[in-house]
Structure 1
């Protein structure tokens, strides 16, 4: 209901008759933040554009040159990487070394290898790794890790590196005592050496 003269509400409740709010005060009054000091740095005005003294002469028209008049040497023509490689190769394909080795395992298997590879129960390269060989060993006792040993070549010499296996790797060179391989470190393996991988081993020939 509103007053016809002043337009105010005639049914408004006075402030003294207001019911108290049953909810507690959940607003925290904080102190006003101090006014921050603003430092204005004058920015130099951009220089006015240079006035043109006269009309700009048009650029001379390009004279077409016949293609046959400009000889292009063969060596200057870029060749795509895929065409520069032999058939069947790719830029990310491993480059096998020319030296080949024979791994004679205690399980009776013989594997001819070259380049690099992994040895284990289920060898699996890490993301970004590329190997020439993945040599899987049948180990019923599961003493050999999935990716137990890594091998490769350096200057025609064979090397091995333990891949942080559970049971480790031991190198036995000819006329030398056994040497436990430190994980992640490469060890040169001459021909005739024996490499123990847990309960299994192989002889390099």
Structure 2
């Protein structure tokens, strides 16, 4: 077995031509700069907690330090105190708490971009180039060492570096001198995208890379009304690659048998002019059928007529129509003499032939063959639902269910549908969480939820972290 190691450098998205982070890219993903007021509040909360943990040691060391400064410190009297052991315990506990608090802050900031104060106010720290965690050494250790160095110049250093330097950012992203040195950026996870939500971040990056097709306005219905004043309401019955089959449903009232409405180009539907009255000589009456003797009292069927249209008059500038070729006379069929069994058997009604059709269509042929990234094959014979726990919608009819094992739960319960079309198959995203994409000739196109896309042999459909390939149509 040969193992291939991809040692190529990882491509970093969101950098401009000079290799600097592009603020427009981060804004397109949905990342928002943390407000300055909340950043100050997070710092104040962290300092307050640190002072609270250091309080036992400060109660012991501050009086001793004041005596040492004033020259009134007596070491013999200090070591002769009865409570010296408790003083040492208080200082040791305070130092241990401060050390543990600092280590926890460093680890959380480097790996999760969050600290005690940032977690309370809803902001996170990320690397400004990769938009991922800032890192332990540069993003956390270097930053905290610089913060400690600012206190070497009391009051002025912390105020200038921590408070005022973020206000001088030319990109207006609130990045101060500490952020420039640590390559960090504070973002607001309440009003914007949380960069540590891996699933949402992956979807945002994919949507930015993929050019979505503009949804065109729906075309007017081609259904023919059956009444004069009825609106052309469209009722879909089936969808195929060549168009949509539909039935017209009337909602208004009008005279039965009136002329259908005609749609003027670019305008509303208008009623077509009524046809000219048909002369009585054009009506060819047909004899009324006689009632069967086995049904006494049956009402007689009224006579019906066949209306012939007016003769067609060609235009003056129309091309001459070639004469119609008379059809060849049909050869008379040979008479078939009924046998003794067929003469006595009653004729088979046409309903029996229609009832045999569903039985023949129960075993549908294979319309498409799909190969999953795990090597499993799916033979598509009807509408196939793919997901972790697929289930058909109400009124969807008979479907195939293809259950996908996905430990990362990137695949929705009913993620993707493969529908049968007249000339192949169609892929439809079922409003999944992570979305679906069609890869054809190296170009990836996102699937809009509910919009079918025709599949071709060799296409790859990505759904969540899984994928399938169209092997045969």
| TM-score normalized by the length of structure 1 | 0.55
Q: CA deviation at 1:169?
A: 0.2
Offset at 1:86? 5.1
Residue 17 (structure 2) aligns with:
none
What is aligned with 2:459? 193
Query: Aligned partners of 1:192 and 1:153: how far apart in 2?
Result: 17
Q: Within 5 Å, which residues of 2 pair with 1:1-16?
A: none
Aligned equivalent of 1:74: 347
Alignment size in residue pairs = 130
2:446 aligned with 1:180, yes or no?
Answer: yes
Give the TM-score taking structure 2 as reference length: 0.25
Task: Report the alpha carbon displacement of residue 155 of structure 1 after superposing the two structures with TM.
Answer: 1.8
Report the alpha carbon displacement of residue 88 of structure 1 after superposing the two structures with TM. 7.7
Give the whole-Å Cα distance in 1 for the aligned partners of 2:399 and 2:386: 12
Residue 43 of structure 2 is matched in structure 1 by none
- Residue matched to 1:123: 390
Per-residue CA distance 1:101-130 (angstroms, 9 max, x = gap): 221111232222223110000000012112
User: How far off its partner does 1:80 sit?
Assistant: 5.8
Give the CA deviation at 1:199: 0.3
Closer/same/farther in 2, CA of residues 125 and 83 from structure 1, 3 Å limit: same
Q: Is the 8 A contact 2:367 2:420 kept in 1?
A: no
- Contact 1:99–1:156, Cα closer than 8 Å, also in 2: no
Q: Whole-Å Cα distance in 2 between the matches of residues 122 and 139 of structure 1?
A: 10
What aligned pairs does 1:120-199 form with structure 2 within 5 A after superposition? 120-173=387-440, 175-199=441-465
Once the two structures are TM-superposed, the CA of residue 99 in structure 1 deviates from its matched residue by 4.9
Please give the alpha-carbon distance, in whole angstroms, between the structure 1 residues aligned to 2:459 and 2:367.
15
Normalized per residue, the structure richer in strand is 1
**SS of the counterpart of 2:457?**
coil
Determine helix, strand or coil for the equivalent of 1:84.
helix
CA contact (8 A) 2:367 2:424 kept: no
- Residue 351 of structure 2: SS of its match in structure 1? coil
Structure 1 portions without partners, runs of 5+: 1-63, 66-71
Query: How far has the Cα of 1:172 moved from its partner?
Result: 0.6
8 Å Cα contact 2:437/2:447 also seen in 1: yes
State the SS of the aligned residue for 1:160.
Answer: strand
